Amino acid sequence: MKRIGVFTSGGDSPGMNAAIRAVVRTATYHGIEVYGIMRGYSGMIKGEFVRLDSASVSNTVQKGGTILKSARSQKFMTKEGRQQAFDQLVNNGIEGLVAIGGNGTFTGAMIFEEEFGIPTVGAPGTIDNDLYGTDYTIGYDTAVNTALDCIDKIRDTADSHDRCFFVEVMGRDSGYIAIPCAIGGGAEIVMIPETQMSVDVVIDTLQSGWQRSKTSFIVIVAEGDEEGNATSVASRVKEAIPQLDTRVTVIGHIQRGGSPTAADRLLGSQIGIAAVEGLMNGMRNVMAGIVDKKLVYTPFTDTINKKKLINQSFMRMVEILSV
């Protein structure tokens, strides 16, 4: 393999640039040319390719976001769009791809390989940490620490004014961000998509705390919880406990930005190297990940279709520590 392409797709996450840097420098180390594909599959279709060398990725490991930009492409979901992307790769002599992203990115890569034979190795870039086949995803550690910093500040004002704050964190399908935020932020309650916690249980828990003369509370709500978002939950709680002074804070996209932590820089670098060397060893339709501190390659079919389960002991920790 003489020339490869690297791109980021879907939501950005801190540490993507560390992975891009590792891909470029690993390929250079092995004598392989690298082209950055701007704006994911959209840029692939349009032929937005940029030759990258070691100097191109200098001073990027500490930067948040992605230097290759990211975009969603409806056109790539069509056979015609994928044909155009394939033609662009062939015209530029690109023989393999490193895809940095999540489930949607890997689904597109798998279909693309099945139709046109372009091998792809994936790098798990998402703050949600919901991909099967790796203990941690690139950007997760930074997102949790960003959210925790916000929660610590909210705790100060909650305590000062005897308020109950409902704090919404990201996690459309997963509570992986919410759980460590609840434990590390000293929250009384956490609501995540993986568990069935009704608003009635939240009300009972808050009333019990109020009766024990507890005057400030933090409730962490993952954005994908089945009971609704933080605003909806707070409204229903306020109806049941009118004496409770409630506020809602949605941390939102701030969790995606910022300089990556040391853990995310290291993870992005490890997986970037593994992705290139996986391509060199003939791998295709797999995601590079770290499980039990060991490098593994997981087929896209498993990464996409298998559910990464929440450790239920963490939920028990929240219950015990909130007493």
Identify the three-state secondary structure at position 279. Answer: helix
- Among 294, 272, 302, smallest CA distance to 121 is for 272
- Is residue 24 annotated as involved in ligand binding? yes
Known binding residue 261? Answer is no
Alpha-carbon distance of 319 to 316, in angstroms, equals 5
Q: Is 284 annotated as a binding residue?
A: no
| 236 known ligand binder | no
Which run of H or E residues covers position 202?
helix 199-211
Task: In whole angstroms, give the CA distance from residue 231 to residue 133.
Answer: 34
74 three-class SS: coil
Would the annotation count 43 as a binding residue? no
253 is in an annotated binding site: yes
Q: Is 223 annotated as a binding residue?
A: yes
Strand 294-299 and strand 286-291: the pairing is antiparallel
- Can you read off the two tokens belonging to residue 59? 């001073």
Q: Is 82 annotated as a binding residue?
A: no
| Contact status, residue 62 vs residue 261, Cβ threshold 8 Å | no
> Quick one: which of 14, 13, 314 has its CA closest to 184?
314
The answer to whether 323 and 192 are in contact (CB under 8 A) is no
93 assigned binding-site residue? no
Distance in angstroms (rounded) separating the CA atoms of residues 44 and 37: 6
- 225 belongs to the catalytic site: no
| 277 labeled part of a ligand binding site | no
102 is in an annotated binding site: yes
Q: Is there a binding annotation on residue 187?
A: yes
Catalytic residue among 12, 53, 87, 128: 128
Order of strands, sheet of 217-222, starting from the edge strand that comes earlier in the sequence: 189-191, 217-222, 164-169, 246-250
128 is in an annotated binding site: yes
What's the Rg (C-alpha) of the chain? 22
On whether the CB atoms of residues 166 and 270 are closer than 8 A, the answer is no
- The reply to whether 170 sits in an annotated binding site is yes
212 is annotated as contributing to ligand binding: yes
- The residues that are catalytic are 128
| Sequence ranges of the binding site for substrate | 126-128, 163, 170-172, 223, 247, 253-256
Please report, in range form, the residues annotated as the binding site for Mg(2+): 103
Task: Show binding-site residues for ATP.
Answer: 11, 72-73, 102-105
Binding region: 11, 21-25, 72-73, 102-105, 126-128, 155, 163, 170-172, 186-188, 212, 214-216, 223, 247, 253-256
